[in-house]
A and B are shown apart, each in its own frame.
Chain A
Amino acid sequence: MAQTTTKNAQIDADDIMISMKGVNKWFGSFHVLRDINLTVYKGERIVICGPSGSGKSTLIRCLNRLEEHQAGDITVQGITLNNDLKNIDEIRREVGMVFQHFNLFPHLSILENCTLAPIWVRRMPKAKAEEIAMHYLERVKIPEQALKYPGQLSGGQQQRVAIARALCMEPKLMLFDEPTSALDPEMIKEVLDTMVGLAEDGMSMICVTHEMGFARKVANRVIFMDEGQIIEEKDPESFFNNPENDRTKLFLSQILDH
């Protein structure tokens, strides 16, 4: 599939992780994504913020086909995202996702949560998958919980397991959809620290989050969305210090003031 990229058209095509061109999406008659154009390069860390209902989740969920876009082109790692199941499977293998509500599998132990996809999707031998799983569980600092079930862990621990589960597929890109919004305040830090660690290791990331401290620390670019559109797109320093758009200013004043 990789040979069908737009390699010839663009010299730096190999460095592009994601390209969205003129993407539109409707839920029924509700126009949720309006003409989204976005290019993400390998190793980039993007933070998306914006008011609730502005389409942030929908945007990143379109990137691994949890939602289907109706117009425009999306390519991930040079693979075109269309109705071809093969392409979708290939993209999902390369893209990890972390959800607001963790979505761990409650009937499987932590270790099984982490080895499931490598064993069934990557066809990895069980022993190898467990070795990798333990490696990533150590990285998110909960190897000692490996044999417990998700219901026995705290929210912060569950979210770190969810990150480890995604990492076990050794993805090229990680998507985070408000990973800390369902957590008690004292657990937010442990999850953010894990994400900062990932960023420092050079993982490409797209994070929907309102943690502005995190955005300042790791983002290459911050994107502000409202009503299904990308309103402003800047490096964190200028995004926070001199936002141009009035809606961005209003949003920033609301979330920074309380």
Chain B
Amino acid sequence: MLPPPATEAGITGWLWHNIFESMADFHSPLAAMRSLFMILFSLVLVYVFGTQIYGLLDFAIFSAVFSDPDGVKREACWTVQQGGSLPDGWHAACWPFVVAKQKFALFGPFPSEELWRVYLALVAGAAGLAWVMIERLPFRRQAGFLMLTVYPLATFILLTGGNIEVAMTRVAIWFVFGLALISVGRLGNAGRLGTVVNEFAGSFAGVGWLVVAFSTVAAIAAFDFNLEPVDTGDWGGLLITLVVAVTGIVASLPLGIILALGRRSDMPVISVLCTIFIEFWRGVPLITVLFMASVMLPLFLPAGVNFDNLLRALIGVMLFSAAYMAEVVRGGLQAIDKGQYEGADAVGLSYWQKMRLIILPQALTHVIPGIVNTFIGLFKDTTLVSIVGIFDLLGAGQSAIADAAWSTPVQAITMYLYVGIIFFVFCFGMSRYSIYMENKLSKSRRH
């Protein structure tokens, strides 16, 4: 066996194929011209990118002010001309400003002594997410189930304080009603009731479980855990961004799947309804949706019915992103060969089994890039909630900029850089995970 030539292997090989091969051909005048052009072009590119990246690093790190030991605030970032001690013409990040506004940018006016609740929710969320995503860990399914059921409820109670106002007797009645439905379903399944009931036994049990689940959730949310209540009006910053984005992301996928299946349904009524829903929500800008939800909706509700501003915005975002997700999923469904449906039908799978076990796993795999693209878009679109007076990361950052105590020419740029970095980290993370998933799935399943 011969070793591969140096141009085919290792770092040299990579450099050769990707960079130098295109500029090394001088065999004819034309080829030489082309190589020369490539060399010049590469040099220009290196120069342009180099200066840009250096400029950014210089602004953010090399020339930046990192501390304010004397506690002089804005004067720490003033040039001599402006009355401070930095050299004239200095233009770089003023990080002490961000440090001073850190709590506000991340959590808004959330009461400081209650912040441990937010930390707890965030740490639990990050740990749970990591557990679900890291493949070597055991019980990932169970972890995912907890993340979708217990975690949202726990987070809700931690962040708001729980203790919501519901009539406990009513909850108890619903609970018993749910249990009754389940029993009817059980008896029906065993064929002990009339034919009509037996036919619908499954639906009875299903609805029963839903009712029981909802009344349990309501009872827990109404329980007094002795936590200081925090109004959602006091939430802000990254906390709002995460709450809105995560709710939107988690709700949009299942809703989008159901809408996409509905739109492709054989039943005209369902298909038309889903199509109208999707086209309506895709046809209006998110800003309009948020505006309607927060300003117009209360006009139509009976006086005295007051429901939370954040909740209204959340519902708007959920429905809006569900419509987008539905179209992405529908694209995936269309890519599935008719033979897959027939194969599933022929072995006797029911409609839902066929979708869940055969069609959706393949359709969703096809459109992972589109799904993550929608997630990323949604994450960034959360900034629009500022329009209805909810202060997300960007909104909180912007109101921090208004603080005259830190007024310097670089105040705004520094804050925007900080906000931008945080957004980038989350969006880039999602993007990398999507690429990782795609590679993994294509390795294990394709030809």
Contacting B at CB under 8 A, from A6-24, are none
Chain B contact residues (Cβ within 8 angstroms of A): what range? 20 to 34
Contact of A121 among B337, B347, B365 (CB under 8 A): B347
Which residues of chain B are near A106, meaning CB under 8 Å? Answer: 362, 445-446
Beta-carbon contact of B357 and A116 below 8 Å:
yes
Residues of B within 8 A of A165 (CB): 347
Contacts of A149 in B (CB 8 A): 444-446
Known: A117-B348, A120-B349. A103 touches B446 (CB 8 A): no
Is residue A210 contacting chain B, with contact meaning CB distance below 8 A? no
The complex places the Cα of A64 from the Cα of B348 at a distance, in Å, of: 9
Contacts of B58 in A (CB 8 A): none
What are the interface flags for B334-377 relative to A under an 8 Å C-beta threshold, 1 for contact and 0 otherwise? 00010110111111111001000110011001000000000000
Contact of A117 among B342, B347, B444 (CB under 8 A): B347
Q: Which residue of the partner chain, among A64, A92, A103, A116, contacts B339 with CB atoms under 8 Å?
A: A103
Task: Say whether B141 faces chain A, with CB atoms less than 8 Å apart.
Answer: no
How far is B443's CA from A130's CA once the two chains are assembled, in angstroms?
25
B440 near A: Cβ within 8 Å?
no
The 8 Å CB contact of B346, one of A97, A101, A107, A152, is: A97
A contacts with B, residue count (CB < 8 A) = 27
CA distance A107 to B444 in the complex (A): 8
Q: A93 at the A/B interface (Cβ < 8 Å)?
A: yes
Closest B-chain residue to A85, C-beta based?
B350
The closest CB in chain B to the CB of A162 belongs to B343
Q: Collect the chain B residues with CB atoms within 8 Å of residue A104's CB.
A: 343
Q: Are B348 and A103 in touch, CB under 8 angstroms? A: no
Type the 1/0 row for A92-116, where 1 means its CB is closer than 8 Å to any CB of B.
1101110101111111000000001
State whether B446 touches A117 (Cβ < 8 A).
Answer: no
Give the distance in Å from the alpha carbon of A65 to the alpha carbon of B347 in the complex.
12
B residues within 8 A CB of A89? 348, 350
Contact A105/B343 with A93-B348, A117-B349, A121-B348 known, Cβ cut-off 8 Å: yes
Q: Is A166 an interface residue when CB atoms closer than 8 A count as contact?
A: yes
Give chain A's interface residues, CB within 8 Å of chain B: 64-66, 89, 92-93, 95-97, 99, 101-107, 116-117, 120-121, 149, 151-152, 165-166, 169
Cβ contacts A to B, 23 pairs, < 8 Å: A64-B345, A64-B346, A66-B345, A66-B346, A89-B350, A92-B345, A92-B347, A92-B348, A93-B348, A96-B346, A96-B347, A97-B346, A99-B346, A102-B339, A103-B337, A103-B346, A105-B344, A105-B358, A105-B362, A116-B347, A120-B349, A120-B357, A166-B346
What are the nearest 3 A-B pairs in CB distance? A103-B343, A151-B447, A117-B347
Chain B residues within 8 Å of A, Cβ to Cβ: 337, 339-340, 342-350, 353, 357-358, 361-362, 365, 444-447
**Supplied contacts A64-B346, A99-B339, 17 more A-B pairs, CB within 8 Å:** A66-B345, A92-B346, A95-B346, A99-B343, A99-B346, A101-B339, A103-B339, A104-B343, A106-B445, A106-B446, A107-B361, A107-B445, A116-B357, A117-B347, A117-B348, A120-B357, A166-B347
